Structure 1
C-alpha cells in the first residue's frame, strides 16, 4: 500500500473504502471475507500514523453488519493492542456506539491489560514446547500423588457444548489441524491443590491421553499462570495453524478471552478486570503426553484448570501438524 505524503488521510480513507467495497458476496469460502478485513486493519495500523487513521471515525455507525463498520471495529482493536488512540474523542465515541450496537469487539478495553503483556511479542529462543525437557525448563513440575489419582477416578463428566465451543474457538479460528478437546469435570469433594497434577489428569477419560505410554515419553504436568495460558490462546488465533490463517490481533484477543472465560466457567457479563482477579484464585497447569493424539511435530498444548471451590476442573488440549494422520480427532 503506497503512502501519499501530500494527502495521507485521504489515502487511508480511500484504501478503507476500497477494501470494504471490493469484498465479494458469496463467492469466497466461509470466513474469508472476515479474514481479509481483519488482515487489512492490521496492516493499516502498522503502516499508517494515527493522525491519518483518525478521520475514518468522524461518522458514527447505525448498524454493525456493514463491512466498512467491521473494518473500523478491527482498526480500533488493533490500535488498542499497541496502546494507541486513547483519549481521542472520535475514536472513543465510535467505540461507545459499537458497544451500544452490541459489537463483540467493543467489550474489550481500549488499552492493553497487564495480563496481556506478551501479546504479539516474540521472545528469542521461546518457541513452542515440544519436549518434556523444554516444559520442565520453563515451568515448575506439579507433584504426582496417589491422592490425585484417586480423585481423578472419582471425577464426573460435566458436558457443556457451548462452553466447549468457546474454549476451542482460538484453535478453530486459527485453523489448527485437529479438533481440540475441551472437557469439564466435577468432583464429589474438594481437591487439594497439592494433588492437582498429572496423576489426577491421567485418570480423567480424555481422548488426548488414550494409550498414554504407548509412545516414548511419560506424561507430565507443570504449574503455570493465567497470563501464560491467555497468551497461548491469543497466539493460537493470531498466528494461525500450520495450514490455517491468522485472525488479526483484534479478534485473536477476543477469542483468547472467550476461551479463558470458558475455562473458568465465567458468564460473559463479568468485566475483564474482574476475570483477571478471579483467575488468580484458580490453579493452572500445562500438561503434555506422548500418545497417538498429540503429534509433537509443530504445536501441542494441554491446559487444566482447577476452580476456587476445588470441585470443578476444565481441560483443553490441542495439536497441530502438517503431516496427514488417519487417527480420529
Structure 2
C-alpha cells in the first residue's frame, strides 16, 4: 500500500496543476513521517517527486510550497523542498522568486548540505544530465583516444612515479569516492593520494608515471588485451563523470537524483583537489584551471570493461601532489572491495 501511494504521489507530481503540486508534496511528507518506507525507498521517492515537480510544474504553482519557513532540516517536508530547489537550479528555473530565495537562505542558515550549492547552474556544470548520441561511457582504448589527446609516456615520468610517497587520508578518500558509493557501483572505488619529493614536469604526467604508483586498479594482467594509456582531459569532463556516477547510479545501484548527485560530484571534486569545504565554488572552478587532469585506462583484473570504467589522475599546481580516483561497474555480478 505504501508503494502504491508513493506511485500516486509521483503521478501527481508529473501532472501539471497547482493542486497536484500540493497533494504530491503532502503525500510524500506523510509517507515518510509514518515510517512505512525504508530510508533508501524514502530517499528515492522524495527525490523522484522533487525532480518531477521541477520538470513538470509551472514555477508559479510550485511557489506556494515555500510560503512557510522551516524550523529544522530533519522534517521530510523540508527535505523535499531542499531537493526541489536543487532540481530547479539544475534546469535554470525558479530564479528571482522571493519565496524560493528566502527559503534557500533559511536552509543555508540551518546548515542543510544542499544549501551550499548555488541557485544557478555554473558554466563548468554545462554537461550535467545532458546525453549526446554516440558519447556514452568510455569502454575501449579506441574510444578514449578518439575523444581526448593522449599523454605520451616518458622515462622521466616512470622515474618520478617510483619516488611517489603514499599520503593516506581516509576522510578525503571517502569524499572522493562518494558519487560511486552513493550510486551503488559494483566495486568500491579506489581513491589514493601521493606526494612527490620534487616538482613533476607536466610533460612527465602520463601513463608511465601512473603505472609506477602502487594502485590496486593496476594490479594483475587482466583477461582483456590492451596496453594502459592516459589522455589529457578537462575539469568539466571529470566533474560531469562524477555527477553522472551518482545521478544514474550503478547497474545494480540507484540514482541519487539531480540535487544530491550535484552535491556528491562537488564533494568529490573538492577532495581530488584537496580543497577545504569552505572554499566558494567559483574559487574552486578557478583552482581547477590550474590543475592537470588525466583520464587513464588499464586492462587489469580490477577493471571490468563492461558498463563503465572511469579513472582519473590529478596533478596540483605545485606539481608535487597527485590524486587518483578509479571506479568500475558491471551488471554480471556485484563485488565489494
**Alignment TM class, shorter chain as reference:** over 0.9
Is contact 2:25-2:77 (8 Å) kept? yes
Structure 2 residue corresponding to 1:87, chosen from 90, 96, 107 = 96
Paired residue for 1:323?
Answer: 332
Which 10-residue stretch deviates more, 23-32 or 135-144?
23-32
Structure 1 match to 2:311:
302
> How many angstroms does 1:23 deviate by?
2.0
Alignment of 1:49-60 (within 5 A): 49-60=58-69
Structure 2 CA distance for partners of 1:57 and 1:201, relative to 1, 3 Å? same
Q: Which residue matches 1:10?
A: 19
- Kept in 2, the 8 Å contact 1:190–1:309? The answer is yes
User: Do structure 1's residue 110 and structure 2's residue 110 form an aligned pair?
Assistant: no
Q: Measure the CA separation in 1 of the matches of 2:103 and 2:204.
A: 49
- TM-score, scaled relative to structure 2: 0.94
Matched, 1:179 2:226: no
> Which residue does the alignment assign to 1:265?
274
How far 1:14 sits from its partner (Å)? 1.6
CA RMSD of aligned residues (A): 1.7
Alignment of 1:137-148 (within 5 A): 137-148=146-157
Structure 1 residue 251 corresponds to structure 2 residue 260: yes
Alpha-carbon separation, structure 1, partners of 2:102 and 2:222: 57
1 CA distance for matches of 2:238 and 2:96? Answer: 30
- Shift in Å, 1:15: 1.1
Q: Which residue of 2 aligns with 1:64?
A: 73
Residues in 1 aligned to 2:223 and 2:99: alpha-carbon distance in whole angstroms: 59
Q: Deviations over 1:272-311 (max 9, x none)?
A: 0000000000000000000010000111110000000000
Match of 1:242 among 251, 257, 263: 251
Return the offset for 1:213.
6.5
User: Residues 41 and 205 (structure 1 numbering): CA distance in 2 closer, same or farther, change over 3 Å?
Assistant: same
Which residue matches 2:213?
Answer: 204
Residue 33 of structure 1: how far off its partner (Å): 1.8
In structure 1, C-alpha distance between the alignment counterparts of 2:191 and 2:205, rounded to whole Å? 18
State the partner residue of 1:23: 32
Structure 1 length normalisation: TM-score?
Answer: 0.96
Whether the 8 Å contact between 1:212 and 1:219 is mirrored in structure 2 is no
